[in-house]
């Protein structure tokens, strides 16, 4: 099954209904308050973080690979700008476009070469001193496949029907430092049927 087909089917099965969010972005109020541009929600899914942001007055460009997810988002959040894109390809934005990019559970599906390419693209479109706020799978995420499946690369497996990367703190520093100064922390995410272990990243692009 192709990656896009997988996500379209997943969203058709699980994403219908009211959009909800958790409050992980509460910890980054200062970063959000300093944002003067539109926020790019990169891999927005059905719009969990887009809803959080729009409720707080931010203008958001919500981007995802799945048309099904974007159609559901547009039904619920009618005034949000949406864009279908593949984040493994060059991003269709000018250099230095955004003060803030959100990438919540969307950057852990790629091999090492592609992951580095994505990081460099994010750096390109961030303004100097702009921030990426992200969450990725942790190597401790045993409820959602960590350490299982067919190994492709170190901490990168074919599991539960598609390729998933699981990040150690060291991995997160290595990859996200391509963008800039990186702060990480391990956290629990409680939006799903079972607790999910994630690594949260706040990375600031330098001048």
Per-residue pLDDT reduced to its tens digit, 161-173 = 889 999 999 999 9
Give the helix/strand (H/E) hosting 51. Answer: helix 48-55
pLDDT for residue 1: 41
pLDDT for residue 10: 53
Shortest CA distance to 15 belongs to which of 74, 61, 97? 74
Question: Which residues of the chain register pLDDT less than 50?
Answer: 1, 7-8, 11
Shortest CA distance to 118 belongs to which of 107, 102, 103? 107
In a 10 Å sphere around its CB, with 0-12 CB exposed, 13-18 middle and 19+ buried, how is residue 36 labelled? exposed
- Contact between 117 and 172 (Cβ < 8 Å): no
> Tell me: the pLDDT tens digits for 99-129?
999 999 999 999 999 999 999 999 999 999 9
Shortest CA distance to 203 belongs to which of 182, 178, 186, 172? 182
Q: pTM for the complete prediction?
A: 0.92
CATH number for the domain that contains residue 19: 3.40.50.150
pLDDT for residue 152: 95
- Contact between 166 and 146 (Cβ < 8 Å): yes
Query: Chain centroid to CA 168: how far?
Result: 17
pLDDT for residue 17: 65
**Number of domains present in the structure of the chain:** 1
Q: What is the span of the domain harbouring residue 180? A: 3-205
């Amino acid at each position: 099954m192709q990656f896009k087909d997988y996500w379209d089917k997943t969203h058709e099965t699980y994403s219908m209904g009211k959009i909800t969010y958790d409050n992980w972005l509460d910890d980054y109020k200062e970063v959000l308050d300093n944002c003067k541009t539109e926020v790019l929600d990169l891999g927005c899914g059905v719009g969990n973080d887009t809803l959080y942001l729009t409720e707080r007055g931010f203008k958001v460009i919500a981007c995802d690979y799945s048309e099904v997810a974007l159609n559901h988002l547009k039904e619920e959040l009618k005034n949000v700008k949406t864009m279908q894109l593949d984040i493994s390809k060059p991003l269709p934005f000018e250099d230095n476009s955004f003060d803030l990019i959100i990438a919540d559970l969307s950057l852990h599906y790629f091999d090492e070469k592609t992951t580095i390419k994505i990081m460099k693209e994010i750096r390109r479109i961030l303004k100097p001193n702009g921030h990426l706020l992200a969450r990725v799978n942790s190597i401790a995420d045993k409820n959602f496949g960590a350490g299982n499946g067919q190994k492709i690369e170190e901490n990168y497996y074919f599991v539960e029907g598609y390729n998933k990367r699981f990040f150690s703190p060291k991995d997160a520093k290595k990859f996200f430092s391509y963008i800039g100064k990186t702060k990480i922390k391990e956290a629990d995410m409680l939006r799903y049927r079972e607790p999910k272990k994630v690594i949260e990243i706040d990375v600031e692009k330098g001048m």
